[in-house]
Amino acid sequence: MADLEKWVIVSFKIKEDYVIDITFKDGKTETIDFEPVIGEGWMKQLKDPAYFRRVKLNDGGNLEWPDGQDFNPEALYAWPRFRQFYIEDMKEHEIITSPDTALG
């Protein structure tokens, strides 16, 4: 099975706020707590639990929210390896957009 094919999500279940159980095409499962990686920039809307629960499985076999937010399928498949990358990316965005960093 090619990597792209195994990364396809076949089902998911929201366990609690920000936590989703994901099953991939090759049978692998991953439980992901998204809370540490959402809240800034393009992921800001996902902090609203009602919006977060509106996640759907798109035609490409990836999780997607109504305004197009999604995560790289490879990252979801290998979440322990990619989790820190998303956390650092959010923190970097937080620093860049913080009022304390504005020039003036």
Q: Is-contact 63 52, C-beta < 8 A?
A: no
Predicted local distance difference test score (pLDDT) of residue 104: 44
> Could you report the per-residue pLDDT of 64-86, keeping only the tens digit for each?
999 999 998 999 999 998 988 88
> Could you report the per-residue pLDDT of 22-67, keeping only the tens digit for each?
999 999 999 999 999 898 888 899 999 999 999 999 999 999 999 9
What's the sign of the alpha-carbon dihedral 16, 14, 22, 77?
negative
Per DSSP, 73 falls in state H
* Residues in contact with 76: Cβ distance below 8 Å, sequence separation at least 6, in sequence order: 7, 9, 22, 30, 32, 62, 63, 82
> Could you report the per-residue pLDDT of 83-97, keeping only the tens digit for each?
888 888 777 766 544
Q: Has this prediction a pTM greater than 0.95?
A: no
Q: Is-contact 48 34, C-beta < 8 A?
A: no
Predicted local distance difference test score (pLDDT) of residue 98: 45
- Helix ranges restricted to H, 1-104: 3-6, 49-52, 73-77, 79-97
Going along the chain from its start, the domains and CATH numbers come out as 3-88 (3.30.2020.10)
Predicted local distance difference test score (pLDDT) of residue 93: 63
Predicted local distance difference test score (pLDDT) of residue 94: 61
